[in-house]
């Protein structure tokens, strides 16, 4: 099996919504089964109703930033022939939730996109995948072939297997026939997206929830989870080698999610929340956290694309941060000065801190650089690196001191650096 | 809502010439790699310099935009 296979284990806390119908790790919910489990696709009826129901549901985007989908629909320019884009490029190396959705319950994602496209009278739905995951592309193709009489045409676009290619404006540029490079904002995709048309681009999971909201309504959606971010959420729990995708209501303690995946915070050296552009937390800290986006960000943490990565006890989070930031620096789209020049310096500084004795000056310099690049680029990529690096430097003053004295002996590389995401050539 | 002037850098265009920071040092300083760091809002007495910096940028990467910021009820 490929490392990115959809056939990783799944688990559910509470009643399954997105993962309903899956029992064994090899299950795929085909169209007949999908309609048996969820019933036929309903329609929002009108754009106004779509907006109202989504706003009432409180559904927030599952692609990282947590922006409410209802507000995105409300800001969609009212011109003809808008486009719906399902962002299923899942560039986060440790994330498997979108691969599980597309590979195993693809009809839910397609239904959600079609329900939105139908309500806004869109000319097409584009499912944006990347060529590094051919088995997912195959699964979506097979799912589309099973369907009959869809209200809006659906096509697949395979972007390049690069991290930044999953950024919204990069995806739109590629789908429009250009390169998969971010463009400056404004314009926002909701104003000028695919080939200049108003575009609703959201993460695959966001559309999957929409498929259930159109069937069961906003009150049903809100019946589980926290008020500020209702519903269930998919999380990839991983130690860097094995991955388990868990569906749980927001508000669930992180420890329950990890336990359901067969893991525990106690054995972890540190925990990376939210992916490679996420934040480090201590296992002790995690023991009291819940799946609550607002509460997490109030404590300086990020859930990002829904990832809990447990660092094995014989690995070191500073070394991991050095390797990850080096990889992230190589993923720059090469367009913006602070990103092109700053990220490699940050990565080199982190490598020094992780691998040889340094003075506190070295850490202060990396911190200053992380502050400087944050928010300065055409896309949010530099901010992701800042977040990761600052959280690593702040995690444990004792362990940082250990490194400064050259005393850390952990040398194992635990989290993978994806090979198919080759560094971009400039 | 009260209108406020902000300097906005188009990062894809900016080449780090640094001319802007020379012309409007109150509003723009350069980072460790020579790229501009702009202050959030341009003060009224800095508008002229800021506009000159925008006009002088060889890459047309710098613009002054008017943004509406919510006025806090306390003021
Ligand atoms: C460098 C970078 C990479 C990204 N990669 C992805 C991705 O692979 N998949 C994704 O859904 N969103 C990705 N995003 C976020 C998208 O820009 C966008 O916010 C998201 O797809 C919107 O979906 P949502 O509103 O449903 O959350 C990325 C953002 C950045 C800055
Ligand atoms: S910030 Fe970096 S990744 Fe984003 S567009 Fe600019 S160069 Fe590319
Ligand atoms: S003058 Fe223009 S190109 Fe040069 S640093 Fe300033 S904004 Fe960038």
In a domain, A414, yes or no: no
Instruction: Identify the pLDDT of residue A418.
Output: 84
**A288 and A204 co-located in one domain:** no
Is residue A190 located within the same domain as residue A273?
no
The answer on A246 and A324 residing in a single domain is no
pLDDT score for A412: 87
Task: For residue A394, tell me if it sits in a domain.
Answer: yes
Q: What is the CATH number of the domain that holds A23?
A: 3.40.50.11540
β-strand partners of A312: A268
- In total, how many domains does chain A have? 3
Low pLDDT (below 70) residues in chain A: 1-7, 420-426
Confidence of residue B71 (pLDDT cuts 50, 70, 90): low
Whether residues A266 and A238 share a domain: the answer is yes
The CA A332 to ligand 2 mean position distance, Å, reads 6
Say whether both A386 and A348 belong to one domain. Answer: yes
ipTM, 2 dp: 0.90
pLDDT digits (tens, 9 = 90+) for A174-229: 999 999 999 999 999 999 999 999 999 999 999 999 999 999 999 999 999 999 99
pLDDT at A302: 86
CATH of the domain at A234: 3.10.20.600
Q: Class for domain B2-69, per CATH?
A: alpha beta
pLDDT tens readout for residues B1-59: 678 899 999 999 999 989 999 999 999 999 999 999 998 788 888 899 999 999 999 99
Residue nearest to atom 23 of ligand 1 (CA): A202
Edge-to-edge, what's the strand order for the sheet holding A199-203? Answer: A154-159, A124-130, A83-87, A199-203
Domain of residue A369 covers: 319-404
CA distance A64 to B14: 28
pTM of the predicted structure, to 2 decimals: 0.94
Task: Kindly list the residues from chain A whose CB atom is less than 8 angstroms away from the CB atom of residue B31.
Answer: 338, 342, 372-373, 376
Mutate to test the pocket of ligand 3, among B7, B10, B19 (most ligand atoms within 8 A of CB): B19
Q: In 10 A of CB A86, how many CB atoms?
A: 32
The CATH number of the domain holding residue A378 is 1.20.1440.230
Assign 3-class secondary structure to A286-308. Answer: HCCCECCHHHHHHCCCCCCCCEE
The pLDDT value given to residue A7:
62
CB pairs under 8 A between A and B: 43
Q: Within this chain, do residues A356 and A238 fall inside the same structural domain, yes or no?
A: no
pLDDT at position B73: 52
Does the pLDDT at position B74 exceed 90? no
Residue of B nearest to A369 (CA): B32
Burial of A308 (C-beta count, 10 Å sphere; 0-12/13-18/19+)? buried
Burial class (CB in 10 A: 0-12, 13-18, 19+), A26: exposed
> Within B3-72, where are the H helices?
19-23, 47-56
Expressed in angstroms and rounded, the spacing between residue A171 Cα and the centre of ligand 1 is: 9
Answer yes or no: is A277 within a domain: yes
The structure tokens listed for A161 are: 């297997």
The pLDDT, as a whole number, for residue A409 is: 85
Domain closes at, from A270, A286, A312: A312
**Are B11 and A345 in contact (CB < 8 Å)?**
no
Please identify, among A188, A206, A222, the residue that sits at the C-terminal boundary of a domain: A222
Nearest chain A Cα distance for residue B31, angstroms = 7
Looking at the CA of residue B62, tell me the nearest atom of ligand 3: 7
Say if the Cβ atoms of A338 and B34 lie within 8 Å.
Answer: no
In a 13 Å sphere around the CA of A78, the CA atoms on its Cβ side amount to: 4
Residue to mutate among A338, A341, A377, with most B CBs inside 10 A, is A338
């Amino acid at each position: 099996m490929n490392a990115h296979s959809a056939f990783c284990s799944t688990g559910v806390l509470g009643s399954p919504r997105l993962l309903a119908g899956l029992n064994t790790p090899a299950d795929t919910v085909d169209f007949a089964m999908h309609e048996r489990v969820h019933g036929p696709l309903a329609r929002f009826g009108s754009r106004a109703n779509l907006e109202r129901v989504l706003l009432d549901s409180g559904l927030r985007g599952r692609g990282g930033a947590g922006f409410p989908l209802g507000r995105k629909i409300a800001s969609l320019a009212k011109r003809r022939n808008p486009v719906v884009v399902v962002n299923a490029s899942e560039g986060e190396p440790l994330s498997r939730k979108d691969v599980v959705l597309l590979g195993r319950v693809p009809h839910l994602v397609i239904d959600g996109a079609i329900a939105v496209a139908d309500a806004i009278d869109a000319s097409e739905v584009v499912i944006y995948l990347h060529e590094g995951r051919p088995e997912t592309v195959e699964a979506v193709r097979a799912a589309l072939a099973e369907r009959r009489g869809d209200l809006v045409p659906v096509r697949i676009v395979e972007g390049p297997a690069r991290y930044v290619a999953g950024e919204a404006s990069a995806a739109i540029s590629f789908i429009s026939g250009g390169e998969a490079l971010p463009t400056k904002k404004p314009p926002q995709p909701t104003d000028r997206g695919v080939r200049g048309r108003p575009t609703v681009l959201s993460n695959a999971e966001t559309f999957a929830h929409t498929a259930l909201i159109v069937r069961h309504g906003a009150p049903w959606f809100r019946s589980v989870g926290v008020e500020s971010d209702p519903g269930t959420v998919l999380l990839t729990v991983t130690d860097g080698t094995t991955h388990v995708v868990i569906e749980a209501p927001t508000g669930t303690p992180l420890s329950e999610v990890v336990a359901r995946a067969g893991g525990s915070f106690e054995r972890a050296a540190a925990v990376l929340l939210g992916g490679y552009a996420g934040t480090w937390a201590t296992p002790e800290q995690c023991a009291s956290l819940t799946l609550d986006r607002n509460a997490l960000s109030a404590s300086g943490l990020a859930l990002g694309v829904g990832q809990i990565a447990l660092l094995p006890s014989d690995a070191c989070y500073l070394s991991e941060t050095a390797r990850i930031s080096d990889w992230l620096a190589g993923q720059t789209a090469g367009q913006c000065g602070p990103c092109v020049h700053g990220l490699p310096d940050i990565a080199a500084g982190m490598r020094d801190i992780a691998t040889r004795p340094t003075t506190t000056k070295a850490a202060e310099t990396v911190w200053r650089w992380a502050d400087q690049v944050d928010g300065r680029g055409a896309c949010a990529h530099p901010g992701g690196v800042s977040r990761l690096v600052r959280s690593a430097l702040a995690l444990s003053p004792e362990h940082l001191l250990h490194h400064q004295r050259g005393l850390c002996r952990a040398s194992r590389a635990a989290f993978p650096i994806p090979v198919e995401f080759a560094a971009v050539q400039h | 809502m009260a209108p406020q002037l902000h300097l906005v850098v188009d990062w894809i265009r900016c080449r780090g010439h640094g001319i802007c920071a020379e012309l409007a040092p109150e509003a723009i300083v350069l980072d460790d790699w020579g790229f501009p760091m702009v202050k959030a809002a341009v003060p009224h007495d800095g508008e002229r310099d800021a506009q000159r910096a925008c006009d002088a940028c060889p890459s047309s990467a710098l613009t002054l935009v008017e943004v509406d910021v919510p006025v806090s009820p306390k003021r």
